């Protein structure tokens, strides 16, 4: 235990004091503070710019009305839909319109060929169909208004009918996904990134000790399991320190920013429930331990840092695959699908999958406890296995051994250990 | 204290690395562990350090299994290893604490040993900023800081200049005098002869020779005599004339030198040769039995194998 603490302290201080760690932390802080203050700043600059815009600065929409012959209705409907644009009723032919749109005299042009058939002329068609949908919606509105008009329904009543929408109030008995969606997504990203980032720290530290042959000294000073556990705890603690600094800065800087200055998306992000955040922390810690033991064990077979990437790529693949499964499940709205339920009990996918379910669905506390216990047991077993692999791996230089050779070495070692224990008991 | 290694066997997979290795070293003396590359020296050392478990055999201190928690072992691996990017004093203190010393004592020991090595000015520097020889000195400090009862040095002299080698020699002698058990592994035979009264030669995982260096040397036939004289040719002619039937060769190893080397058929005749030479009308500077050098012994024992 004493050794674990000593290794932990050395590793922790080593990481905290390293330039790379300080620089990334500072960058994150700058980003956080930027995210807190910039939107407000940009909005205020934008709004002051808006005021200066005069009527002549406005972009022009050209509308050719061949079907309704009702200039007023067409113009007013378009003006309503496209605020900030100037609506021009034109009689130009399609070629002229295309020319002018291309020269950007017009933002875009709409030709109403028939009551429900339109030609939309634009320079660049956006990937997202929001503009075209708005044009179609506008023309639909014109059609409805004029149709009601023909039937003799007064304009006010027809407008009311057209714009009527049911009032919807939702009663949520479980978890409100709409409320938690974004925050859960962000926290999940953070778990994923943090596990990879800090897990790699462990792997790198193992390889560099081996590469510089510091291992030759260390292995004679302390047990491999103590070195391994100390290293994993040390890097993990450094990770938590970094996260804590970042979160504290975020919370403090939010105090100084009025929430109203932030765009709605950002405000929503900041609003995550405390229990979701606590789950994120819990599952980050569990995921970190599971993967850093794996990464450390794999890394102990690398003689040089160049070998590291190849060696740890299987582990990385698993992490990415798990993340993809969970993201796809969330996006398709099936957080409680059979696959997700299974994933939330498999220790390698449980940290992300169970977190997603805990945040976005109504999982009973018992289920979470079972998943956590499975993960804890796995961590213990992995820790032991990783130490055994580490013991075999760190003194092996040169070619990366085949998995079968490793298994054989481990079983040999296990047999000798058993024999030694038996002989000690005999004494 | 007496460190005994008894009947060690160790295999890695199919390969048998150690086959019945026995060693013994006592406080206040140094044991030279010799052997060609791959003979099993490092494996033996790692078993003593507790990094590997032997398949069979044991490591004893004063007849009881070595308790590595109580007996401190200082080890200087052949592959030097310290953190290149970490502050020297920090890593020295860390390694010494891992070896069981408390923080305050480790700091004191760090200052003491850096001073002893003449490295105090580098205390707060990173290791990688030092020259190779100086890094070596830091490595030695790391080995000895924990005040070890057993010191294991693997090629400690490689890469040191003569002045640093002298410093290292003094330090090793101090350790021996202070009652530590010193295990010394090297290919530089002159250093081995200088420190070690005993040697063990390992070849392909087996001890092929061990004991006091003097005894091993005496075990060789003492039938070669070296005579130093101003007139080697004259003396050579005289000896061949008188004792020719009992002599195999008489030669001058250096062309212009004044050494005459006589190889006799039997070592019994060396008394007769001495009286003949002393009675001869020639000025004699010295007359001695020519012993094999440690180098010769090493080559002879390890030539076959591996």
Q: Where are the alpha helices (DSSP H) in B50-177?
A: 88-98, 103-116, 132-144, 162-177
Q: Is the ipTM of this complex over 0.90?
A: no
CB contact under 8 A, B53 and A416: yes
CB contact under 8 A, B77 and A213: yes
User: Residue B110 and residue B219: Cα distance in Å, rounded?
Assistant: 45
Out of 3.20.20, 3.30.70, 1.10.10, 1.10.150, select the CATH number for domain B224-290. 3.30.70
**Which one of B53, B79, B84 has the shortest CB-CB distance to A417?**
B53
CB contact under 8 A, B79 and A213: yes
Q: Where are the alpha helices (DSSP H) in A82-129?
A: 94-102
CB contact under 8 A, B98 and A218: yes
Structure tokens at B95: 């390694």
Q: For residue A423, how many C-alpha atoms fall within 13 Å in the half-sphere facing its CB?
A: 13
Are A186 and A35 contacting, i.e. CB atoms less than 8 angstroms apart?
Answer: no
Average pLDDT of the residues in B242-261? 83
CB contact under 8 A, A395 and B51: yes
Q: Domain A60-161: what homologous superfamily?
A: Periplasmic binding protein-like II (3.40.190.10)
Cα B286 off chain centre by: 29
**Which one of B81, B98, B142 has the shortest CB-CB distance to A222?**
B98
Residue closest to B155 by CA, chosen among B73, B47, B77, B75: B77
Q: Tell me whether B75 touches chain A (CB under 8 Å).
A: yes
A410 → chain B, closest CA residue:
B13
Say how many CB pairs under 8 Å bridge A and B: 56
Question: Which residues of A are less than 8 Å from B75 in CB distance?
Answer: 217, 220
CB contact under 8 A, A220 and B80: no
Q: pLDDT tens across A86-138, in order?
A: 888 888 888 988 998 888 888 889 898 888 888 888 887 766 667 788 888 88
**C-alpha distances in angstroms, A1 versus A6, A209, A222, A234, B16?**
9, 21, 11, 14, 35
- Please tell me whether the overall predicted TM-score, pTM, comes out greater than 0.80 for this model: no
User: Residue A87 and residue A76: Cα distance in Å, rounded?
Assistant: 9
Question: Which residues of A are less than 8 Å from B94 in CB distance?
Answer: 6, 10
Q: pLDDT tens across A75-89, in order?
A: 888 888 888 788 888
Question: Which residues of A are less than 8 Å from B99 in CB distance?
Answer: 221
Residue ranges of the domains in chain A? 60-161, 176-426
Q: pLDDT tens across A333-362, in order?
A: 778 888 889 999 999 999 999 998 888 888
Cα A94 off chain centre by: 46
Are A210 and A300 contacting, i.e. CB atoms less than 8 angstroms apart?
Answer: yes
CB contact under 8 A, A213 and B81: yes
Question: Which residues of A are less than 8 Å from B73 in CB distance?
Answer: 220
Q: Tell me whether B9 touches chain A (CB under 8 Å).
A: no
Question: Which is it for the CA torsion B217, B222, B226, B227, positive or negative?
Answer: positive
**Which one of B53, B86, B97 has the shortest CB-CB distance to A14?**
B86
Q: pLDDT tens across A24-53, in order?
A: 999 988 988 887 777 777 777 766 655 554
User: What local confidence, expressed as pLDDT, does residue B306 receive?
Assistant: 46
CB contact under 8 A, A408 and B13: yes
Are A7 and A226 contacting, i.e. CB atoms less than 8 angstroms apart?
Answer: yes
**Which one of B13, B46, B99 has the shortest CB-CB distance to A221?**
B99
Give A95: exposed, middle or buried? Use CB within 10 Å, 0-12, 13-18, 19+: exposed
Return the CATH architecture of domain B2-71+149-218. 3-Layer(aba) Sandwich (3.40)
Q: pLDDT confidence of B264, banded at 50, 70, 90?
A: confident
A8 → chain B, closest CA residue:
B94
Q: pLDDT tens across A186-196, in order?
A: 888 888 888 88
């Amino acid at each position: 235990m004493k050794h674990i603490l000593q290794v932990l302290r050395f590793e922790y201080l080593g990481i905290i004091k390293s330039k790379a760690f300080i620089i990334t932390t500072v960058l994150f802080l700058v980003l956080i503070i930027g995210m807190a203050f910039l939107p407000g700043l940009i909005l205020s600059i934008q709004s002051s710019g808006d005021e200066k815009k005069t009527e002549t600065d406005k972009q022009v929409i050209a509308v050719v009305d061949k079907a309704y012959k009702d200039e007023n209705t067409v113009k007013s409907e378009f003006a309503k839909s496209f605020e900030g644009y100037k609506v021009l009723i034109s009689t130009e032919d399609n070629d002229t319109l295309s020319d002018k749109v291309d020269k950007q005299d017009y933002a875009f042009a709409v030709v109403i060929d028939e009551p429900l058939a339109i030609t939309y002329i634009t320079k660049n068609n956006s990937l997202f169909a929001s503009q075209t949908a708005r044009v179609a919606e506008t023309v639909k509105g014109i059609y409805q208004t004029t149709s009601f008009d023909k039937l003799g329904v007064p304009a006010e009543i027809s407008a009311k009918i057209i714009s009527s929408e049911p009032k919807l109030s939702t009663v949520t008995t479980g978890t409100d996904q709409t409320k938690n969606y974004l925050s859960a997504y962000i926290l999940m990203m953070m778990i994923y990134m943090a596990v990879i980032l800090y897990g790699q720290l462990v792997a790198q530290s193992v390889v560099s000790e081996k590469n510089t042959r510091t291992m030759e000294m260390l292995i004679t000073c302390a047990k491999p399991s103590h070195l391994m556990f100390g290293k994993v705890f040390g890097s993990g603690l450094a990770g938590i320190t970094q996260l804590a600094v970042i979160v504290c800065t975020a919370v403090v800087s939010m105090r100084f920013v009025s929430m109203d200055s932030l765009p709605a998306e950002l405000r929503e992000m900041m609003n995550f429930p405390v229990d979701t955040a606590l789950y994120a922390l819990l599952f980050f810690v569990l995921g970190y331990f599971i993967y850093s033991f794996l990464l450390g064990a794999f890394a102990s077979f690398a003689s040089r840092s160049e070998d590291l990437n190849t060696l740890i790529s299987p582990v990385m693949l698993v992490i990415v695959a798990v993340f993809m499964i969970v993201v796809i499940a969330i996006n398709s709205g099936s957080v409680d699908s059979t696959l997700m339920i299974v994933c939330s009990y498999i220790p390698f996918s449980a940290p992300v999958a169970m977190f997603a379910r805990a945040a976005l669905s109504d999982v009973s506390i018992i289920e979470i406890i079972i998943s956590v216990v499975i993960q804890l047991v796995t961590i213990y077993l992995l820790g032991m296995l990783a130490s055994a692999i580490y013991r075999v791996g760190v003194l092996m230089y040169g070619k990366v051994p085949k998995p079968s050779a490793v298994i054989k070495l481990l079983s040999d070692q296990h047999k000798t250990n058993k024999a030694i224990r038996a002989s000690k008991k005999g004494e | 204290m007496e460190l005994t290694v008894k009947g060690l066997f160790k295999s890695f997979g199919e390969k048998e690395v150690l086959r019945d290795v026995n060693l013994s070293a006592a406080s206040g003396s140094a044991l030279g562990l010799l052997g060609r590359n791959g003979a099993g020296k490092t494996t033996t050392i790692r078993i003593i350090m507790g990094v590997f478990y032997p398949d069979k055999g044991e490591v004893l201190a004063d007849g009881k299994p070595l308790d590595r928690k109580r007996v401190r072992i200082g080890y200087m691996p052949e592959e030097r290893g310290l953190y290149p990017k970490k502050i020297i004093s920090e890593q020295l203190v860390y390694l010494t604490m891992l070896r069981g010393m408390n923080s305050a004592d480790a700091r004191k020991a760090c200052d003491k040993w850096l001073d002893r090595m003449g490295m105090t000015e580098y205390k707060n520097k990173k290791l990688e900023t030092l020259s190779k020889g100086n890094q070596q000195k830091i490595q030695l400090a790391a080995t000895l800081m924990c005040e070890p009862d057993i010191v294991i040095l693997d090629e400690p002299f490689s890469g040191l200049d003569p002045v640093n080698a002298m410093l290292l020699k003094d330090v090793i002698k101090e350790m021996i005098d202070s009652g530590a058990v010193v295990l010394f592994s090297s290919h530089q035979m002159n250093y081995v002869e200088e420190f070690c009264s005993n040697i063990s030669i390992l070849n392909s995982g087996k001890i092929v020779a061990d004991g006091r260096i003097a005894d091993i040397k005496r075990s060789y036939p003492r039938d070669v005599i070296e005579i130093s004289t101003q007139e080697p040719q004259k003396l050579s002619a005289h000896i061949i004339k008188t004792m020719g039937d009992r002599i195999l060769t008489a030669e001058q190893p250096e062309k212009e030198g004044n050494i005459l080397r006589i190889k006799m058929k039997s070592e019994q005749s060396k008394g007769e040769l001495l009286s003949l030479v002393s009675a001869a009308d020639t000025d004699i500077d010295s007359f001695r039995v020519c012993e094999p050098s440690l180098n010769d012994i090493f080559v002879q024992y390890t030539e076959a194998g591996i």
